[in-house]
Homo-oligomer: A and B are copies of this chain.
Amino acid sequence: MEQHSNILKYKHLGIYTQNENVVYMRNDCHVCISEGFEALTRIRVSRATRSIVASLNVINSDILLPNEIGLSDAAAKKLNVSPNDMLYVSHLEPIESLSHVRAKIYNQKLNYDAYNHIIKDIVEGDYSNIHLSAFITACAGDRMDIDEISNLTKAMIASGKQLNWNKEIVVDKHCIGGLPGNRTTPLVVAIVTAYGLTMPKTSSRAITSPAGTADTMEVLTNVTLSADEIEAVVKKEGGCFVWGGTAQLSPADDVLIKIEKALDIDSEGQLIASVLSKKAAAGSTHVVIDIPVGETAKVRSMEMAQKLKTRMETVGNAVGLNVKVVITDGTQPVGRGIGPTLEAIDILKVLNNETDAPKDLTERALLLAAELIELSGKVVKGKGLETAQQILKSGKAYEKFLAICKTQGHFSKPVLAPYKIEIRAEKSGSLKRIDNRKIAKLAKLSGAPQSKSAGILLNVHLGEQVEENQLLYTIYAESQGELNYAMEYKNNHMDIITIN
């Protein structure tokens, strides 16, 4: 109907809006007038056989002509448009799955088909940020039971690619974040693949933290590999440590996580579905989950941790994963470095068995590697730790680490940031408390993870006796401005480290 009149010429505006699709049209363009489109109307935009849903922003200046149409960068990429392409716009048919979201808002229990329908539409990009926020909120606050979490997880697995390694046992690990510097993953990969297990590890970049595993490993090697390249590395070395962003595993998760970040919530149901869907889609069979518990960690009480453990293991079972949850100490940062480069330095020290390698990081990595080795059934229960220790001590883990890095592209040594400032104790006493959230915030203000070599190098741990003027930590930054930012925050927050 009137299709000929709903065609506009694409002009590149170069506006980046993250995941949200935005379409730009003039208020006096014939399509806006005849269709009654107003700002924020959700519109279908098509080119050839592709189409997307986008929110309208109305232009009343000459950055567009009345017969032109613009798109946000993500939307333009999805439609694969070039300047002067003709685009067809139309009213959006109702998004049927929103009726399930409304049902969830009104406290109804959703079945697999409903979650599947919602997740499919989210992956299609049909949901606006308003819709996504409503879905996340409606699922938060203990409003999903175990069946629902399982169904959401299954729907998220089905929404993207699913890898198959043709191995009986494929191991993986995941840590329920919140602990700065807790960079055990590269160590665990090195140990268990040196032992002979298959561990095709995909990691995320930082979401709210000063470094994700992918950020840290990017200091040492190339982490952006295609699916084919990942397959080749794993075939050769038994494992990898790559960024999971291009793998299209559980793509709905990537969309939802950005909204959760904006809301600063991480609800139990979404958390479980997020973690387990990524693991299952990546072809894992045996997974160890690390839940650090501490007052300023993500999980703050043993009770919450136990509940999460039970649910993780139950949902894991429902989606065909053998899940073992390990509850660990989350009262302070792990290792010395917080920030990609500083964490990479810690990792190399552990792998090289250096005398000043951080003991806590070493022990955690060994514990998790041991759990995976035992979970795989290859050694008897209780013998995992000894096996892991032998592999690390012998240098086999380091050899394997280097081999994987080189197969991924190269191995590069970490280089410290040019600007730094040392923070010293203002009084003597016992080190009582380290605020994980605030020290992470400090590292972020210094520039991490965008500035790879920025961050914090910790010199002290909980319970230690500290003398006045003793070095507590060093802040590293890549510019004086960022160093100033971090210092301003530090000076306004005297409880980052508490000495009694």
Chain A interface residues (CB < 8 Å from chain B): 1-2, 5, 12-18, 20, 22, 24, 27, 34, 36, 38-40, 57-63, 72-73, 98, 101-102, 105-107, 128-134, 136-138, 140-142, 258-259, 262-265, 267, 447, 450, 479, 481-482, 484-485, 488
What is the chain B residue whose CB lies nearest that of A262? Answer: B130
Q: Taking the full assembly, how many copies of this chain does it contain?
A: 2
Q: A142 and B107: CB pair below 8 A?
A: yes
Q: Could you show 17 A-B contacts with beta carbons less than 8 Å apart?
A: A1-B481, A1-B488, A2-B484, A13-B59, A14-B60, A15-B59, A16-B60, A17-B57, A18-B38, A34-B479, A63-B63, A101-B263, A105-B141, A130-B133, A133-B133, A133-B134, A138-B141
Residue of B nearest to A36 (CB): B450
Q: Once the chains bind, are B263 and A134 in contact (CB under 8 Å)?
A: yes
Give the complex CA separation of A138 and B22 in angstroms: 26
**Inter-chain contact A447/B36, CB cutoff 8 Å:** yes
Whether the pair B263, A130 counts as a contact (CB closer than 8 A) is yes
- Whether B61 lies near A12 (C-beta < 8 A) is yes
Instruction: Contacts A24-B15, A105-B265 given; indicate if A134 touches B131 (C-beta within 8 A).
Output: no
- Residue A40 contacts which of B17, B131, B264 (CB distance < 8 angstroms)? B17
**Pairs A-B, 8 closest by C-beta atoms:** A14-B61, A133-B133, A137-B137, A16-B58, A14-B60, A134-B137, A130-B133, A106-B141
A263 touches B16 (CB 8 A): no
Q: Is the CB of A13 within 8 A of B102?
A: no
CB distance from A75 to the nearest CB of B (A): 12
Question: Which of A5, A16, A20 counts the most B-chain CB atoms under 10 A from its CB?
Answer: A16
On whether the beta carbons of A13 and B63 are closer than 8 Å, the reply is yes
Residues of B with C-beta under 8 A to A258: 40
The minimal Cβ–Cβ distance linking A480 to chain B, given in whole angstroms, is 9
In the complex, the answer to whether A98 meets B447 with C-beta atoms within 8 Å is no
- Tell me the bound Cα distance from A156 to B258 in angstroms: 30
Kindly list chain B residues whose C-beta atoms are within 8 Å of the C-beta of A479. Answer: 34
Q: Which residues of B are found within 8 Å of A18, using beta-carbon distances?
A: 38-40
Docked complex Cα distance between A38 and B129 (Å): 17
A266 to chain B, nearest CB (A): 10
Find out whether the CB atom of B63 lies under 8 angstroms from the CB atom of A265.
Answer: no
